[in-house]
Amino acid sequence: MKTTRNTTAKTAVLEVFEKSRTALSHTEIQKQLNDVCDRVTIYRILDRLVNDDIVHKISNLDGTVKYAKCNHSNQRVHIHNHAHFSCENCHEITCLENVKPSYIMPHNYKVKEINFTLSGLCPNCLNSNI
Amino acid sequence: MKTTRNTTAKTAVLEVFEKSRTALSHTEIQKQLNDVCDRVTIYRILDRLVNDDIVHKISNLDGTVKYAKCNHSNQRVHIHNHAHFSCENCHEITCLENVKPSYIMPHNYKVKEINFTLSGLCPNCLNSNI
DNA sequence: ATTTTATCGCAACATTGTTGCAAATGATAA
DNA sequence: TTATCATTTGCAACAATGTTGCGATAAAAT
Ligand SMILES: [Zn+2]
Ligand SMILES: [Zn+2]
Ligand SMILES: [Zn+2]
Ligand SMILES: [Zn+2]
């Protein structure tokens, strides 16, 4: 069985996540890492973190992909059914841990994962009345 | 004011949408068009169609972007609040026009658009018990 | 038919993500 | 501590996707 190692690069990436209130793209992580490691390594670390349920991947309407730390890694069944908010002004993406959509599916579909992203203006940008 | 023109390329793209039951990526459209026009032109046509509320853009968890015809262009207020299903086996993306999520948002957010994509197995792939 | 301007083709570029392979390094046990 | 070995890394090269500038083309209106 494949074990996951704690490398300096991985630790650095996790620290970046720890410091961030919002979800981060590969590029944003790379900028904050200041050449701690190669671009490719970041991709591979992110893959592993997603695989190990430490981070979850968020895909935005505009095609950008971001990542955020999971704060429920302790749960037995690990699913990300919370919503995300994408601000059209500041482009920040945040987890809305308490927003979970309810819906009724037609028969004959097997749903395994959901991706619910809302976009518009975040509280910050709404207050600066843009 | 900018007016939109009906060009042969645009007509060809619309015909491709008309023939398709599922959402299409830029690459899929290009393949079906058989060099009717340049790759860049397809991008520009898609942009215009989205802008004119004739087509809507769907962004998938795996990072792929697809487009589907809107079948409610007549509505006064044009919003895409229906869900989409993305099959992890055949990779087809279909509009679930009747599935609309209900949810409760925290205050101070202004929601303008939602993107609700479910993934798993579509009826076709579920029946071929994979 | 003429005019206007939206659209197109092309080339060049930017960004994002992937792969193969030799070298480096973390974890484990001797 | 040292030896071992599978995991991880860096590098280089590649692939896919999307963007921009600009001169040429063509749709639509007069
Ligand atoms: Zn904002
Ligand atoms: Zn989240
Ligand atoms: Zn399927
Ligand atoms: Zn749809």
Taking CA atoms, B120 is separated from A90, A109, A114, in Å, by 32, 7, 9
A70 belongs to an annotated ligand binding site: no
Domain for residue A2, yes or no? Answer: no
Domain for residue A1, yes or no? Answer: no
Work out the burial of residue B39: count CB atoms within 10 Å of its CB; fewer than 13 is exposed, 13-18 middle, 19 or more buried: exposed
Domain for residue B1, yes or no? Answer: no
Nearest chain A residue to B108 by CA distance is: A123
Q: Identify the band that residue A50 occupies on the pLDDT scale cut at 50, 70 and 90.
A: very high
β-bridge pairing A110-121 and A83-87 = parallel
Domains held by chain B: number: 1
Q: Are A36 and A8 in contact (CB under 8 A)?
A: yes
Mean pLDDT within B22-38: 96
Backbone angles phi, psi at B104, to 5 degrees: -120, 120
Taking the CA of residue B89 and the nearest CA in chain A, the distance in Å comes to 11
CATH number of the structural domain spanning residue B96 = 1.10.10.10
Helix (H), strand (E) at residue A117: strand A110-121
Domain for residue B86, yes or no? Answer: yes
When mean pLDDT is compared across A10-24, A76-90, B112-126, the lowest value belongs to A76-90
8 Å CB contact of A83 and B61: no
- Percentage of chain B modeled with pLDDT above 90: 75
**CA–C1' distance A84–C20 (Å)?**
37
Taking the CA of residue A85 and the nearest CA in chain B, the distance in Å comes to 9
**Sheet of strand B65-69: strand arrangement:** B24-25, B65-69, B55-59
B70 belongs to an annotated ligand binding site: no
Domain for residue A3, yes or no? Answer: no
Which of B63, B98, B103 lies closest to A101 in CB terms? B103
Closest CA to B115 of B55, B74, B69, B57: B57
> pLDDT by residue (tens digit) across B73-111?
566 667 788 999 999 888 899 999 999 999 999 999 999
pLDDT, mean over chain A: 90
Domain that holds residue A20: 8-71+78-127
Ligand 4 center–CA A48 separation, angstroms: 32
pLDDT at A72: 66
What is the rounded (10 degree) CA torsion for B127, B129, B92, A45?
Answer: 160
**Residue B4 and residue A49: Cα distance in Å, rounded?**
46
**CA–C1' distance A2–D3 (Å)?**
21
**Residue B3 and residue B46: Cα distance in Å, rounded?**
16
Q: Is the pLDDT of residue B72 over 70?
A: no
pLDDT at A74: 61
Q: Name the DSSP class of B58.
A: E
Contacts of A115 in chain B (CB under 8 A): 60-61, 115-119
pLDDT, mean over chain B: 90
Q: Identify the band that residue B64 occupies on the pLDDT scale cut at 50, 70 and 90.
A: confident
pTM of the model: 0.87
Q: Which nucleotide is nearest to B42 (CA to C1')?
A: C8
Domain for residue A67, yes or no? Answer: yes
Mean pLDDT within B65-72: 88
8 Å CB contact of B116 and A101: yes
